[in-house]
Amino acid sequence: MRWFWLDRFTEFVAGSHATAVKCVSLSEDHLQEHLPDYPIMPNSLVAEGMAQCGGLLVSEIYKFSELVVLAKFARCTIEGEARPGDVIRYKAVVDQAKDFGASVQVKGDIDGRPFSEGEIFFARFDPDSTENTRGRVLFNPDDLRSWLRVVGVFDVGVRTDGTRLRLEDYPHFFQTSVV
């Protein structure tokens, strides 16, 4: 099982907001194992989907090039259940972004019904800041590039001025040194 808790971005406006969908399917292992005979999407994985939607949006602010980690959920509420056949739509909005981190608000809905809401903080570690983080990246650039393509970031991604996001605009993906 791959740690993908979004299926596709339907909107991605760099530095501003993004919308992504997650289709809940009975064929997913965790629905079989979380509560036997009562298949629902575990709330922890809903939170992970919210974090992935907001996290990729934040990661773009730093050109997908650095160690950006989920620091904390300041708040997270989930109402009701996501069942097989449901489509969860997450919308993340950048609230604040600084050189050392960013916060996003993420709301999820199912067919227009409010489902989840959270305030999430991501910390950015300057690659040169400490011995432990120097030169490190969160993902292998090839894996990250693949993930971004699979979930359609470069299919729908634009900047706030409407120009398209292009993979070629992120030189980090074309560097040969990989951690």
Task: Judge residue 24's burial from the number of C-beta atoms within 10 Å of its C-beta, 0-12 exposed, 13-18 middle, 19 or more buried.
Answer: buried
Structure tokens at 88: 């969860």
Q: Is 123 in the site for other proteins (CB under 8 A)?
A: yes
Q: Is 127 in the site for other proteins (CB under 8 A)?
A: no
Minimum CB–partner distance for residue 110 and other proteins (Å): 27
Q: Is 105 in the site for other proteins (CB under 8 A)?
A: no
Classify 76 as helix, strand or coil.
strand
Whichever of 98 and 166 has its CB closer to other proteins, that residue is: 98
Task: Judge residue 148's burial from the number of C-beta atoms within 10 Å of its C-beta, 0-12 exposed, 13-18 middle, 19 or more buried.
Answer: buried
Collect all residues with Cβ–Cβ distance below 8 Å to 3 and sequence separation of at least 6: 48
Q: Is 174 in the site for other proteins (CB under 8 A)?
A: no
Show the binding pattern over residues 4-23: x = contacts other proteins (CB under 8 A), - = does not: --------------------
Pick from 26, 32, 44, 72: which binds other proteins (CB under 8 A)?
Answer: 72
Compute how many residues bind other proteins; rule: CB under 8 A. Answer: 14
Q: Which of 101, 104, 92 is nearest to 18 (CA)?
A: 92
Q: Which residues bind other proteins (CB under 8 A)?
A: 71-72, 74-75, 95-96, 98-101, 103, 121, 123, 130
